[in-house]
C-alpha cells in the first residue's frame, strides 16, 4: 500500500510545477493487455531478443521476425488507452504537462489524445522500406509476410529500434531537451535499466527537476526519486488527478 503522505507529496510537487514531463515505459500499457518485456510474464521469458529484435535476426529470417511483429501489431491495435494514458493527455491539454517521452512503441499516448509525444523506440504500427526508406502506417497486421514496399519492391522492416541500433538522433535530442528543461519528471512503469533511455531521469534530476516514480516494484531509479509511488499507473495517476483538482 502507498502511504497517503506519498500521494499528497507527489500532488504537491506537481501542483507547484510549471513544466512537468512524463517518461513512460511498458508498465503504463500493461493494463491495456500489452505484454511487458522484462519481469514475470514478460516477452523475453518466452522469446529470445537476438532471434526477433535485431538487424541480424531480420537479415537471417525476415518472415519469422515479421510473424512475431504481426502478432504484436494485432495486440496493439486491439488495445485501448488506459486511464493513465488519458490522465496524461488531459494534463497536457490543460497545460500541466509539457510533453511525454515514451519507450513504448504502441501509440497509445497519441490515441489517448497526447500531442507532444517523443517516441524513443519508434512505433510498431509503422514500417520502413529497406530500399527507398519510405515509411507507412499499418491499420491492420500486414497480409503479406514479410511485407514489401509498393514503390520499389524491397522488404519493409518494423520502424522500431532493435537491439544494437542507435536511437533516432532527432528524437533523442528532443527527449534530452525536455529532460533538461522540466522542473518535474514523473517516471511511469519503467524498469530504468534500458540505456540510453534510462539516462533521461538522471539528466532531469541533474538539471534540478524533482522525480516522481510510479511503479509497483522498486527499480534502479528508486533511490534517486524524490517520491516513489508503489502503485500501478492508472491507480496512481487517477489518484493524483483527483488531488490536483481539489
Q: Please indicate whether residue 121 is annotated as part of the active site.
A: yes
Classified as helix, coil or strand, 101 is strand
* Amino acid 234: pLDDT: 97
pLDDT given for residue 3 in this prediction: 58
**If we measure between CA atoms, which residue out of 246, 234, 188 comes closest to residue 15?**
246
The enclosing H or E element of 89 equals helix 83-93
The whole-angstrom separation of Cα 229 and Cα 10 is 8
Q: Given a cut of 60, is residue 221 above it in pLDDT?
A: yes
Q: What CATH code is assigned to 1-33+81-121+167-246? A: 3.40.50.1220
Nearest alpha carbon to residue 227 among 110, 116, 103, 243:
243
**Do residues 76 and 34 lie in contact, with contact meaning Cβ atoms separated by under 8 Å?**
yes
User: What pTM was computed for the model?
Assistant: 0.92
Q: What pLDDT is stored for residue 68 in this prediction?
A: 87
Complete DSSP assignment for 169-202: HHHHHHHHHHHHH-SEEEEES--S-STTTTHHHH
pLDDT band at 1 (very low <50, low <70, confident <90, very high): very low
Over residues 89-115, mean pLDDT: 97
List the domain boundaries for the chain.
1-33+81-121+167-246, 35-78+122-160
Kindly state the percentage of the chain with pLDDT values over 90: 80
- CATH-assigned architecture of domain 35-78+122-160: 2-Layer Sandwich (3.30)
Catalytic-role residue among 85, 121, 123, 174: 121
Determine how β-strand 156-160 pairs with β-strand 184-188: unpaired
Amino acid at each position: 500500500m502507498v502511504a497517503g503522505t506519498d500521494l499528497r507529496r507527489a500532488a504537491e510537487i506537481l501542483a507547484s510545477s510549471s513544466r512537468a514531463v512524463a517518461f513512460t515505459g511498458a508498465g503504463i500499457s500493461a493494463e491495456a493487455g500489452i505484454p511487458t518485456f522484462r519481469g514475470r510474464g514478460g516477452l523475453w521469458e518466452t522469446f529470445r531478443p537476438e532471434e526477433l529484435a535485431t538487424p541480424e535476426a531480420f537479415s537471417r529470417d525476415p518472415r519469422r521476425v515479421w510473424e512475431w511483429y504481426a502478432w504484436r501489431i494485432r495486440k496493439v491495435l486491439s488495445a485501448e488507452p488506459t486511464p493513465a494514458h488519458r490522465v496524461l493527455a488531459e494534463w497536457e491539454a490543460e497545460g500541466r504537462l509539457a510533453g511525454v517521452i515514451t519507450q513504448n512503441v504502441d501509440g497509445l499516448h497519441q490515441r489517448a489524445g497526447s500531442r507532444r509525444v517523443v517516441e524513443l523506440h519508434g512505433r510498431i504500427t509503422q514500417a520502413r522500406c529497406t530500399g527507398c526508406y519510405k515509411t507507412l502506417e499499418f491499420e491492420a497486421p500486414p497480409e503479406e509476410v514479410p511485407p514489401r514496399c509498393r514503390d520499389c519492391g524491397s522488404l519493409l522492416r518494423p520502424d522500431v529500434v532493435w537491439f544494437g541500433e542507435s536511437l533516432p538522433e532527432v528524437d533523442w535530442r528532443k527527449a534530452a531537451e525536455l529532460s533538461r528543461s522540466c522542473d518535474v519528471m514523473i517516471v511511469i512503469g519503467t524498469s530504468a535499466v534500458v540505456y540510453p533511455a534510462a539516462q533521461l531521469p538522471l539528466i532531469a534530476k541533474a538539471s534540478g527537476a524533482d522525480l516522481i516514480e510510479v511503479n509497483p516494484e522498486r527499480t534502479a531509479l528508486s533511490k534517486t526519486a524524490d517520491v516513489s509511488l508503489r502503485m500501478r499507473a492508472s491507480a496512481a495517476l487517477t489518484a493524483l488527478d483527483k488531488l490536483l483538482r481539489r
